[in-house]
Structure 1
Amino acid sequence: MGTLVSLISAFISGEAAAALRRARITTILYGVAGVFALCGVGFLIGAAYVWLASRFGPLATCLGFGIGFLVIAGLILVIHKLTTGRQSRRRARQRKADLTGLGITAALALLPALSKSKGGLGVVLAPALALVAYAIYRENVKPAPGKPDRDDPR
């Protein structure tokens, strides 16, 4: 049995080392390809500059390229800001749902042990009824006119 385990672990570690080597080579190749792609884009931008400078003059072309790149940078930042806020709200909702599920699972796991304890079902039902009553209360209470609801994700 020990021989089989050592054989399997050697096979797995050999496969892991080979996979790591392939991943390293792939990463290096993608990095080199990325550098050449950036060089190509740089030459294309240079060619566009030379072509436009011959048509509109060097000063107007420089101004146009500068303004164009600033507009692109601004658009990237605005899009990033919008998507980050949306992702943050989505993560908060997911975290809340996960914690709720975890709490329910823990309560259900403890239910048999608590029902057999000295207090019996009273120990379990009193907090559960209080939580249900609070949830009903929160759902039916309207927020004040000037104050937004705390649970509203907007």
Structure 2
Amino acid sequence: MLTQLITKIFTGEAGVFFARMRTVAILYAVMGIFALGLLGFLLGALFIWLASIYGALATALGFAAACLLGLVVLYIVLMIARRPPKDRASDRLQRDIASVASVAAISNLPLLMRSVRRRRSLLLVPVAGIGIFAAVRALSAIRRR
């Protein structure tokens, strides 16, 4: 989707793209409302069915226990996700750098493979680069401690 946005900006059709995205977002919002209604009716039907089998009190206590368990799980996820913004920004930057590097490597792969076929000694360049990268990361990890 990001590549579509970039190409639309360069070709001058960004307004059409944003209008289409706004329409899609509205449709997704309506679908979400219907999905919430569906979920509500399914939970109501499940409650009625279980209440006919186990009784209303036992079913209500079971639903309460399930909701409590869901809250505990969500709280744990929230505590894991609530890291300092600096760490999250650093992680995001690392992912962006990795994606750009992988795209560049994949796009240049045919040229690199032809060069390596001609001169086998070129294989030492990436090995040395990986070694230097690992050494720099190890030193920066030691320095941070």
Q: Tell me the TM-score normalised to structure 1 length.
A: 0.49
Aligned equivalents of 2:66 and 2:74: distance in 1? 12
Name the structure 2 match of 1:33.
31
Name the structure 2 match of 1:43.
41
- Tell me how many residue pairs correspond in the alignment: 89
Aligned equivalents of 1:91 and 1:45: distance in 2? 36
Q: Tell me the TM-score normalised to structure 2 length.
A: 0.51
Runs in 1 of length 4+ with deviation above 6 angstroms? none
Summarize deviations over 1:11-62 as a string: whole Å, max 9, x none: 61xx122111101100000000011111111111111100110011111111
Q: Describe how 1:66-105 pairs up with structure 2 within 5 A.
A: 66-85=64-83, 90-91=87-88
Look up the equivalent residue of 2:27 and give its one-letter code. Answer: L
Relative to 1, partners in 2 of residues 1:83 and 1:58: Cα closer, same or farther, differing over 3 Å?
A: same
Look up the equivalent residue of 2:48 and give its one-letter code. Answer: V
- Determine what percentage of the aligned residue pairs are the same residue: 36
Look up the equivalent residue of 2:16 and give its one-letter code. Answer: A
Name the structure 1 match of 2:55.
57
RMSD of equivalent CA atoms? 3.1
Deviation, 1:92, is 7.3
Deviation, 1:94, is 5.7
Look up the equivalent residue of 1:76 and give its one-letter code. Answer: L
Which of the pair is proportionally richer in helix? 2
Look up the equivalent residue of 1:54 and give its one-letter code. Answer: S
- Structure 2 runs not aligned, ≥5 long: 1-8, 95-138
Aligned equivalents of 1:23 and 1:42: distance in 2? 28
Q: Describe how 1:121-140 pairs up with structure 2 within 5 A.
A: none
Aligned equivalents of 1:30 and 1:64: distance in 2? 32
SS of residue paired to 1:68? helix
Aligned equivalents of 2:19 and 2:54: distance in 1? 52
Deviation, 1:89, is 7.2
SS of residue paired to 2:82? helix
Relative to 1, partners in 2 of residues 1:88 and 1:30: Cα closer, same or farther, differing over 3 Å?
A: same
Summarize deviations over 1:82-106 as a string: whole Å, max 9, x none: 2333x757447669x9xxxxxxxxx
Summarize deviations over 1:108-151 as a string: whole Å, max 9, x none: xxxxxxxxxxxxxxxxxxxxxxxxxxx9xx96xxxxxxxxxxx4
